[in-house]
Amino acid sequence: MSPFEHGECFVLDDGGETDLDLGNYERFLAVMLGSDSNLTTGKIYRKVIEKERRGEYLGKTVQIIPHITNEIMARIEAVATLPVDGSQEPPDICMVELGGTIGDIESMPFVEALRQLQHKAGPRNFCLVHVSMVPTVGPEPGEHKTKPTQHSVKELRSLGLAPDFIVCRSKDRVSMPTREKIALFCNVPAERVLSLYDVPNIYRVPIEMLDRNLDILISEQLNIRTYRGDDDDMSEKDSPDWTKKNTAMTSALKLRSDSGFTHKWKDMVQRMEGAQNEVVIALVGKYMAQADSYLSVQSSLHHACIANDCRLKLVRIDSELIGSGDEASWAMLRSAHAILVPGGFGDRGTAGKVAVIQYAREQKVPFLGICLGMQLAIIEFARNVLNITGATSSEFDPTAVGTAKEAIIFMPEGSKDEMGGTMRLGSRATTLSEGSLAHRLYGSLTIHERHRHRYEVNPALVPKLEAKGLRFSGVDDTGMRAEVVELDDTSPDGHPFFFGLQAHPEYKSRPLQPSPPFLGLIRAAVEAKV
């Protein structure tokens, strides 16, 4: 998936490289998903072909129906039993997102598989929520048009699926008469046609859905007992009104309890929306044409700002532009209270990033470097402090291999012949030095973060870098691979916050559990502003 076209690639604990949507699910639901949660056409076809080659179909003609659709159903049913919240208990509900648009050629086998799965599971064990765009036409305030929704539901019904709920995505609130019209023509009860309009804060969306009783309505559809009463009042459970329609289920009670998840979530949203202190963070990268190219990084910054009671103003700076000396880009950088250089691949735009890192180090602007950002911090230090002319990475300059200027090397266990499937991926253990900035940020000497890289710091260069004040405060489980780098922040003339990781901490940040490096960066930015 190209970050220029599709947004970021999200990495899971088990090393799965997936669509960024799985990152949204992990962040919003506080779950840990695996590669099997990302079901693609390629995976399905490969599995069916492998089975055919092994003779599992006993010489039968392999077809889309039943072989492909059966495999899709089998994979969904298998994933539905996998624990995702650390409890080792299977989930009560498995949510499946079928992306794209109804009628897309690519999704047809999946639509048919879901139709068969609905038939197999039964209507009380299957709930279909159809999300449909409701455009606004005409001058303000405009008129909501229902025809696209009517046609999409008609197409969906022609494929054997009928929605139980319709969620109307729109710029502003869809009126009740319009929702009633959709209900009439789409054969869905009016209370199950919900308006989900644009809100300034995406973290408010779950609250909006709770306010519309979506959790209760879905529970009724699935015949799951749901509790409707005061948040923590369980006395009603023994009353005659404790009926099948409005009675309690563990997960719904957990959601609606003020001592539980919803209360914390609402408090988080209120803090986010009520924050007055604004910090400016410069994000310097080369994938700036796509808003979602650094989605997890941006989300992590928001999480850390919430915890620090401040509001984020993100300044996106194209590394190629700033590398060319663009004065407007440099002006934006100088306005920032902190700087972040995220991960990436290739040498394009690296000159600008190195210049930005030098500025952050010399001007003592709080800095966080992630993956390639950390590697470029090593290169900058080697060039400008160790005076190694042309210090670089063998990724950018293959002729540097084996020379004194090779600051970043290709990992020995990697393969240079095949680009696919050769990266160091997934959650890895890192051991931190006691008393280091990293140790203070994480509060632990052993951490687990997700990785996605082929290159590492040249071990031969580490002693020279440390002799000049660059501290390597984290190593992998072998003790040989440098994973974390920092500058001294304890002395009066030290740097307030200069921190780099080979890992991608943004993948494990959550709204209610911000990533420690991002917390440190925002805290330093707040202090720098003062």
The answer to whether 127 is a known catalytic residue is no
Under a CB-based contact definition with an 8 Å cutoff, are residues 292 and 8 in contact? Answer: yes
Q: Number of H helices and number of E strands within the chain?
A: 18, 19
Q: Which of 371, 380, 395, 456 is catalytic?
A: 371
Measured CA to CA, the distance from residue 196 to residue 361 in angstroms comes to 45
Closest CA to 360 of 495, 522, 527: 495
Catalytic annotation on 50? no
Residue with tokens 């959650």: 427
How far lies 270's CA from each of 275, 296, 303, 511, in Å? 8, 21, 13, 13
Which residue of the set 8, 71, 220, 506 is catalytic?
506
Give the DSSP letter of residue 40: -
CA 344 to mean position of chain CA atoms: 16
Helix (H) or strand (E) holding 270: helix 261-274
> Which residues, 6 or more positions from 68, have their beta carbon under 8 angstroms from its beta carbon?
44, 45, 48, 109, 113
| C-alpha closest to that of 283 among 300, 271, 308 | 300
In three-state secondary structure terms, 482 is: strand
Q: At 380, which amino acid appears?
A: E
Measured N-to-C along each axis, helices 41-53 and 69-79 cross at an angle, to the nearest 10 degrees, of 110
Q: Do 481 and 475 meet the contact criterion of CB atoms below 8 Å apart?
A: yes
Instruction: Mark whether 371 is an active-site residue.
Output: yes
What are the distances in angstroms from CA 329 to CA 87, 247, 353, 354, 498?
A: 48, 58, 12, 14, 21
Residues tagged active-site: 371, 504, 506
